[in-house]
Amino acid sequence: MSRPAITICVLAALALPAWAGTATAVTADYPWWTWPLSLFFVCFLLGIVAVPAGVGGGVLFVPIVGGFFPFHLDFVRGAGLLVALASALAAGPDLLRNGLANLRLALPLAVLASASSIVGALVGLALPASVVNIALGVTILGIVALMAMAGKSEFPNVPAADSLSAALCMNGVFHDNVSGRDIAWKVHRTPVGLVLFTLIGMLAGMFGLGAGWANVPVLNLVMGAPLKVSAGTSSFILSLVDSSAAWVYLNRGAVLAVIAVPSVVGMMLGAMIGARLLRVLKASVIRRLVISLLLFAGMRAILKGSGIWI
């Protein structure tokens, strides 16, 4: 199938619930189970494309489900956090055991990010949905720009560790299977990293997005951690950040099992297929597809928030 055809098929599949769900009264015209079932199906598709595109499920889930399903954004964000959390928890043990996630690197950043994610969750739940939708749309468009433009560095050059990271021993060794070598790494610009992770935690809590899209560039490009360590540690940090924010949503009553569970299961099953397809699909094509999806969903969130396309 050609690239435009794949894009059109996926966009059409994702937009189907929107046409049914634009009028709130329509929700009651369908049996209740059609919604979790279609949610499962859409999340399964999102899970498939998320892995080859190198993004977490949460960043796709919130704008797409929030824009095209009849659920209120408060519940979508609660479910989005759980989608991202479940994936991060499932990946965590292997990443920690093989040294790709590093506790020493993660803990100082995670403490600030998880505290700020609580603030973000509280602010997000206190703001009107229209404001959150517009802010979400702008954030998603920012993520699109970041995905399209940000580079990556397999082994960044870190001439010397900064004094804070040296004092905290934020360094380590991991075994690179591709080169067969042990790679020693250290980081720099830790104070900048701490500030950026505070902001990332805030956004994660506010929008229920997960935060891999921002964690990896900050760890890799700003702090100079190797790409694999950045990706693994990002997932681990995400598990702590999203746990904090998820508790806020849970205690506020903003977690609906009927939305959260099919989404978590669909996304995890899809991710398993996506990981297998990674060998046969061209990752750059999928990445462009995901960028298109996010662009569409981000604009939809802005239009929905501003009342132009309810």
184-243 positions binding another protein, by CB under 8 A:
239-240, 243
Kindly determine how many residues on this chain lie close enough to bind another protein according to the rule CB under 8 A: 72
H or E element, residue 222 = none
> Could you tell me which residues come within 8 angstroms of residue 53 by beta carbon, excluding any fewer than 6 positions away?
283, 286, 287, 289, 290
CB of 274 to another protein, least distance (A): 18
Which residues lie below 8 Å from residue 1, measured CB to CB, with a gap of 6+? Answer: 9
33 binding another protein? (CB under 8 A)? yes
Instruction: For another protein, give the closer residue by CB, 99 or 142.
Output: 99
Cα–Cα distance, 187 to 193 (Å, whole number): 10
Choose which of 82, 161, 214, 301 interacts with another protein (CB under 8 A).
82
Q: Which of residues 48-67 bind another protein (CB under 8 A)?
A: none
Is 62 or 286 the residue whose CB approaches another protein more closely?
62
244-283: which residues touch another protein (CB under 8 A)?
A: 244-248, 250-262, 264-265
Give the Å distances, CA to CA, from 72 to 24, 286, 303.
10, 29, 16
Window of 33-41, 141-149, 151-159, 274-282 that interacts with another protein by CB under 8 A: 33-41
Q: Which of 14, 35, 139, 300 binds another protein (CB under 8 A)?
A: 35
Tell me the one-letter amino acid at 281.
Answer: L
When the beta carbons of 15 and 261 are compared against another protein, the nearer one is 261
Residue 93 found at the interface with another protein (CB under 8 A): yes
Q: Residue 44, interface with another protein (CB under 8 A)? A: no
Single out the segment in contact with another protein by CB under 8 A; choices: 11-19, 84-92, 142-150, 293-301. 84-92
Do 201 and 120 contact (CB within 8 A), yes or no? Answer: yes
| Buried/exposed code over 239-263 (b: 16+ C-beta within 10 A; e: otherwise) | bbbbbbbbebbeeeebbbeebbbbb
- CA 212/CA 286 separation, integer angstroms: 17
The region of 154-162, 173-181, 208-216, 273-281 touching another protein under the rule CB under 8 A is: 173-181
Contact track, another protein, 126-165, x by CB under 8 A? x-xx------------------------------------
16-21, long-range: CB < 8 A, 24+ apart: 17/42, 17/68, 17/69, 17/70, 18/67, 18/68, 18/69, 21/68, 21/69, 21/70
